[in-house]
Amino acid sequence: MAKLCVNIDHVTTVRQARMVDYPDPVAAALMAEDAGCTGITVHLREDRRHIQDNDVYRLRNLITTKLNLEMAAVPAIVEVARDVEPDQVTLVPERRQEITTEGGLNVIRGKKKLGKIIRMFQDMDIPVSLFVDPDKDQIKAAVELGANSIELHTGSYSEAKSKKEKNAELSKIKKAAKLSEQLSIITHAGHGLNLDNVIPVAAINSILELNIGHSIVARAVMVGMKNAVKEMIKALELARSAI
Ligand code: PXP
- At 124 the three-state DSSP class reads coil
Ligand 1: nearest atom to the Cα of 151: 3
Cα of 105 to ligand 1 centre, how many Å?
A: 13
Q: Could you give the residue numbers annotated as active site?
A: 43, 70, 191
Cβ of 9 less than 6 Å from ligand 1: yes
3-241 belongs to which homologous superfamily? Aldolase class I (3.20.20.70)
Walk along the chain (243 residues) and give the pLDDT tens digit of each residue: 999 999 999 999 999 999 999 999 999 999 999 999 999 999 999 999 999 999 999 999 999 999 999 999 999 999 999 999 999 999 999 876 777 667 899 999 999 999 999 999 999 999 999 999 999 999 999 999 999 999 999 999 999 999 999 999 999 999 999 999 999 999 999 999 999 999 999 999 999 999 999 999 999 999 999 999 999 999 999 999 855
Cβ of 180 less than 6 Å from ligand 1: no
Cβ of 212 less than 6 Å from ligand 1: yes
Measured CA to CA, the distance from residue 134 to residue 208 in angstroms comes to 15
Nearest residue (by CA) to ligand 1, atom 4, is 191
Cα of 64 to ligand 1 centre, how many Å?
A: 21
Ligand 1: nearest atom to the Cα of 215: 16
Cα 141 to chain centroid, rounded: 20
Cβ of 129 less than 6 Å from ligand 1: no
Cβ of 15 less than 6 Å from ligand 1: no
Nearest to 211 by CA among 185, 189, 234, 241: 189
The enclosing H or E element of 151 equals: strand 149-153
Bridge partners, 70 (sequence order): 43, 90
